[in-house]
Structure 1
Amino acid sequence: MKTAFQLSLHFSLLLLVSCYGGDGYDPLQNALKIQRSRRSALNHANNEAHSAEHSTSPVYIGPQDGLKVDDKISSLPGQPAGTNFDQYSGYVTVDPNHGRALFYYLAESPVNSSTNPLVLWLNGGPGCSSFGNGAMMELGPFRVNADNTTLSHNKYAWNKFANVLFLESPAGVGFSYSNTSSDYTTDDVQTAKDSYTFLINWLERFPEYKTRDFYITGESYAGHYVPQLAQLVLQNNKITNQTVINLKGIAIGNPYVDYEAEKTGMFDYFWTHAIISDQIHEGIISNCNFTEGAPKTDACKDYQYQAYTALSNIFPYDIYTPLCSPFSNSTPSISGFDPCTDSYTQGYLNTPVVQQSLHAKPVQWTSCNDFILFNWKDMPFTVLPVIQDLMASGIRVWIYSGDTDGSVSVTTSRYAINKLQTSVKTQWYPWMYQGEVGGYVVGYENLTFVTVRGAGHFVPSYQPGRALAVFTSFLEGKLPTNH
């Protein structure tokens, strides 16, 4: 325990304190810049190599007896009256030799928890917290109030319809840790392996979920995590004698899945939303080639620099939201989301009594770990082949996009889907929520694409009601209603 604490404390000194929802902070674009600069020097693993490495990996299974009881949360500090569901949190060891353990938080359903499906949620980054961001700011049962010490109910929480499991992955993110510092330099392959090992062990701890319908969801760089983990689950369901995970589908929000689609879509979005000039846009079109292996040119870098300069201090994850200002009372965005929520969450999760109630090791909790981001070893140029495999497997595959996200835009998602070259089954139409257009939907062969009107990158934060409507439609396997 002492060693783990010392290493966790040591590692916390390496962190740059960054908030996923912080003004001007865009971990994904930072990661892509780093990867682009390294790309010529890296030997990138292709999809087949990832699959081969996955399929031969032994899975550690540790003793889980009694740990579920230890993980039950009696009450979170400041939680509101009327909390009527069970909560659990704690660590699952995924590598005992390295002392690597992943932190989770489970919010069970207040009604029908014994029959509702199990849904795993993953935030991206890479290096950002699924608990602090996903649970406390987006789709979890609580939101942190402006006093940093009390919680309020999220009436649009996803655990109303599913038992939702939030996983901090990889080690070094949020409360997850390793006693081996080299583990904090990691990549997509290791992250998928560890997440799968976590699931197998967690299901031993919570055996009542072994036969339950299971879904994997997430956003942003989880556009890599979710499909890769789903592919690994399906592979290992066939080739191991371990627990067969009853995977029914995946849903990824504003996902980064393809580099070329991401960069082209982002700059096209900037132009069509009056952020960059015709001249800058034309300069990018004429001088930039975002395909894999294409040479970088000084002209392309210059025009991209001009585009980011033009963006100025607009929050890239929601181009219409106000910034959090320390000099005035927080001003909700047009969607009603408080832009200072990330700072409230940071304050709450760094309170010792909160960490104790979560059974977490005492650390300096941060929304995102920039050490992990800056030292990410490798990321595939595209995961579209993985998504194609999942589409062919017969599981449910949904992509949803908030349409005010400038970083991983709705345009990016449409360009990526076009590359899949799948046929349309249900033509594009507006879906309705409370008498208004909630967004638009198109049903493809083995794929559904949904937009969420007025939502930024963190769809459940900005449009919680519409996000919940999309989520329930996904669980039911039905397209959102048009009336």
Structure 2
Amino acid sequence: MEAKAFLLHFILFVFICSHNSASSRILNKPSNFLSSASLPSGNAERLIKSFNLMPQHDVNIIAKGSPDAPRLVESQFNFPETIGMRNASGGPSVQEFGHYAGYYSIPSSKSAKMFYFFFESRTNNTDPVVIWLSGGPGCSGSVALFYENGPFTISDDLSLSWNDFGWDKVSNLIYVDQPVGTGFSYTSDPSDLRQDETGVSNDLYDFLQAFFKEHPKYAKNDFYITGESYAGHYIPALASRVHSANKNNEGVPINLKGFAIGNGLTNPEIQYGAYGDYALEMKLISESDHESLKQDYVDCQSGAKQCNLNGGEACSSARDACNNIFDQIMSKIKGTNYYDVRKKCVGDLCYDFSKMETFLNQENVRKALGVGDINFVSCSTAVYDAMVDDWMINLAVKIPALVEDGINVLVYAGEYDLICNWLGNSRWVEQMNWSGQKDFGATKTVPFLVDGKEAGLMKNHGPLTFLKVHDAGHLVPMDQPKASLQMLQTWMQGKLAAQTTGVTVRP
């Protein structure tokens, strides 16, 4: 496998420049990010450097029958002691609870194997099963595992310690490297690289079927789908696939109770329209800039509608027109961290997630995980390129049928994220056409409290909740770990909805 000169787009979500863009236009959008095959390599290099990630390969496609291919199904793993396992606070070792890693074959593919981590709840194995999906498209779930809501964090010396606010404190937690080709997931057939959400959701459904067959004791647990950024596409698609399968008595029943989208890209037509308004509200641009962006949005909106009607080339044109809006905003605020507008990037560097790459690519760690000679691909250019026309598709249209059937939906967003800002997310939620739309719109916004203090603002009606998280950017679990854990727990228990209605919920 040859490395492509840094044409990688990291994990949150990398907005794309058009094919006709001059090199001076600004690159954007990752962590669950996006980017474009048409980007000059210099711009792509600057983008990946902003996260301090340098994957050695652009995708995990290996030769068919290669002796390097892992054959492990699943095993409990133990990181080598030389990596460092102690908790600085004197608590238990990270070895002292159930954690597993492995591969499942994907029957709907030619030869794909999907890699995952599974962490049993630190509290009770009857807790819900939660799957986390990172964005990209094409970025590994391990960024969230090590830097956001996983059971442990990674230190400068590559030692591991407990995360006091890991989501495994209230759930049995799965991180999966998907779509196939990223992280440690791999295939020997390039046709397994997915191009749309049908392919992505079918693969994830196959993965879940394999998981619950391997772990039947968890099959009756409540099940929730979570993620951030481009997972705003993945999550509704997977939820719809699971719900449909359950209705049709297909496979092992999955007890889907809800899904949560964090700072996601879900309805691009509406969300791109919010960029100018958010930037003006945050005093990032002037009134005249704002008026100019309104005119640009006319082309963006028209293109998005055509994309969702006709697909194909219309989606490429829409993406270019819409990303022009973001590019113009960034040209006014050069050096600003577009994942958290309170912050400046130091040189090329906005975040440093390099320890994760170093840790997972060490030979003894790969051996402990059973991945053989497979290299860790933090973000895959090839996976991104394969799905580039999926970007402008509206996935919010899949949600009304789910909420009508009582599937709980939480949409949350950190208030200082520009890329997937809270304003755009709140607008598509408000405009979603379902039986409770009018009542949701009339519902009062109330404080989300953590330790008696306001940590956000939220509104709820029936199964639908929207939460704006204070003092957070794109990566809410990293910026506000305690609030995000409480958010997850109270939402799964139905207590977030109770806060908005004033109903007392007994423990």
TM-score by length of 1: 0.81
1:368 offset after TM fit, Å?
A: 1.6
Q: Offset at 1:161?
A: 0.6
Which residue among 282, 289, 294 is the counterpart of 1:280? 289
Q: Counterparts of 1:309-458 in structure 2 under 5 Å?
A: 309-323=331-345, 340-376=351-387, 378-379=389-390, 381-421=393-433, 422=437, 423-424=439-440, 426-458=443-475
- 1: CA distance between counterparts of 2:153 and 2:32? 27
Partner of 1:101: 113
CA distance in 2, matches of 1:22, 1:224: 12
Structure 1 stretch displaced more, 275-284 or 356-365: 356-365
In structure 2, what is the Cα distance between the partners aligned to 1:324 and 1:105? Answer: 33
Q: Tell me how far 1:311 sits from its aligned partner.
A: 3.0
For the structure 1 residues 12 and 168, does the alpha-carbon distance in structure 2 shift closer, same or farther, using more than 3 Å as the test? Answer: farther
- 2:77 is equivalent to residue 73 of structure 1: yes
Cα 1:444–1:22 change in 2 (3 A) is: closer
Secondary structure of the residue that 1:166 maps to in structure 2? Answer: strand
| Residue 112 of structure 1: how far off its partner (Å) | 1.1
Distance 1:344 1:395, change over 3 A: same
Counting matched residue pairs gives 429
Q: How far is the alpha carbon of 1:107 from its aligned partner?
A: 1.1
Give the Å deviation of 1:281.
1.3
Quick one: distance in 2 between partners of 1:198 and 1:125? 19
Q: Distance in 2 between matches of 1:182 and 1:14?
A: 23
Q: Which residue of 1 aligns with 2:246?
A: 237
Three-state SS of the structure 2 residue aligned to 1:470 is helix
Q: Distance in 2 between matches of 1:472 and 1:343?
A: 30
For 1:89, give the aligned amino acid.
A
Name the structure 2 match of 1:16: 7
* Structure 1 residue 370: Cα displacement: 2.1
Q: How far apart are residue 94 of structure 1 and its match? A: 0.2
Asked if 2 retains the 8 angstrom alpha-carbon contact of 1:431 and 1:439, the reply is yes
1:140-155 matched pairs, under 5 angstroms? 140-147=150-157, 149-155=158-164
**Corresponding residue number in structure 1 for 2:264:** 255
- Structure 2 equivalent of residue 60 of structure 1: none
Query: 1:96 and 1:385, CA in 2 relative to 1: closer, same or farther beyond 3 A?
Result: closer
**Counterpart pick for 2:221 among 200, 209, 212:** 212
Moved over 4 A (4+): 11-15, 21-25, 28-35, 294-304, 324-327, 480-483
Whether the aligned pair in 2 keeps the contact of 1:14 and 1:371 (CA below 8 Å) is no
In the alignment, the residues of structure 1 paired with residue 424 and residue 321 of structure 2 have an alpha-carbon distance, to the nearest angstrom, of 23
RMSD between aligned alpha carbons? 3.0
Q: Which runs of 5+ in 2 are unaligned?
A: 15-26, 39-70, 307-313, 503-507
Structure-1 residue corresponding to 2:311: none
Mapped to 2, the partners of 1:300 and 1:27 lie a distance apart of 16
Identity %: 29
> Compared with structure 1, are the counterparts of its residues 299 and 376 closer, same or farther at alpha carbon in structure 2 (3 Å cutoff)?
closer
| Kept after mapping to 2: 8 A contact 1:284/1:304 | no
Give the letter for the 2:333 counterpart: L
Report the counterpart of residue 54 of structure 1 in structure 2.
Answer: none
CA contact (8 A) 1:284 1:300 kept: no
- Following superposition, the deviation at residue 29 of structure 1 comes to 10
- Deviation at residue 341 of structure 1 after TM alignment: 4.2
How far off its partner does 1:360 sit?
Answer: 2.1
- Following TM superposition, by how much is the alpha carbon of 1:358 offset from its aligned partner in structure 2, in angstroms? 1.7
Specify the code of the residue in structure 1 equivalent to 2:463. Answer: N
State the distance in 2 between where 1:244 and 1:369 align: 32
Residue type matched to 1:225 in 2? Y
Q: Secondary structure at the match of 2:131?
A: strand
Q: Distance in 2 between matches of 1:242 and 1:375?
A: 28
Q: CA deviation at 1:91?
A: 0.5
The one of 319, 325, 328 equivalent to 1:306 is 328
> Does the Cα contact within 8 Å between 1:141 and 1:154 map onto a contact in 2?
yes
Equivalents in 1 of 2:13, 2:362: separation in Å? Answer: 20
Task: Describe the shift of the 1:184–1:14 C-alpha distance in structure 2 as closer, same or farther (beyond 3 A).
Answer: farther
Q: 2:483 aligns with which of 456, 466, 477?
A: 466
1:154-193 equivalences under 5 Å are: 154-193=163-202
Q: Rate the CA distance shift 1:265–1:201 in 2: closer, same or farther, 3 A.
A: same
Q: Indicate how the Cα distance of structure 1 residues 322 and 364 shifts in structure 2: closer, same or farther if over 3 A, else same.
A: farther
Shift of 1:153: 1.5
Letter in 1 for 2:431: K
When residues 30 and 267 of structure 1 are mapped into structure 2, their CA distance, relative to the original with a 3 A threshold, is: farther
Measured in 1, the distance between the counterparts of 2:321 and 2:203 equals 41
- Identify if the C-alpha distance between structure 1 residues 32 and 285 changes in structure 2 by more than 3 Å, giving closer, same or farther: farther
Provide closer, same or farther for how the CA distance between residues 374 and 313 of structure 1 changes in structure 2, counting only shifts above 3 A. Answer: farther
- Counterpart of 1:16 in structure 2: which amino acid? L
1:72 Cα deviation from its structure 2 partner: 0.8
1:118 and 2:148 aligned: no
Determine the C-alpha separation between the residues in 1 that align with 2:238 and 2:13: 28
Unaligned runs of 5+ in 1: 1-9, 36-65, 328-338
Cα distance, 1:67 vs. partner? 7.0
Are 1:12 and 1:364, in contact at CA under 8 Å, matched by a contact in 2? Answer: no
Label 1:102 to 1:308 Cα distance change in 2 as closer, same or farther (>3 A): same
Q: 1:26 aligns with which of 12, 29, 35?
A: 29
Residue 187 of structure 1 deviates from its aligned partner by 2.1
CA distance in 2, matches of 1:99, 1:14: 27
Q: Deviations over 1:102-128 (max 9, x none)?
A: 111011112212x11111111111111
C-alpha spacing 1:142/1:14, structure 2 compared with 1 (3 Å)? same
Provide the residue aligned with 2:52 in structure 1.
none
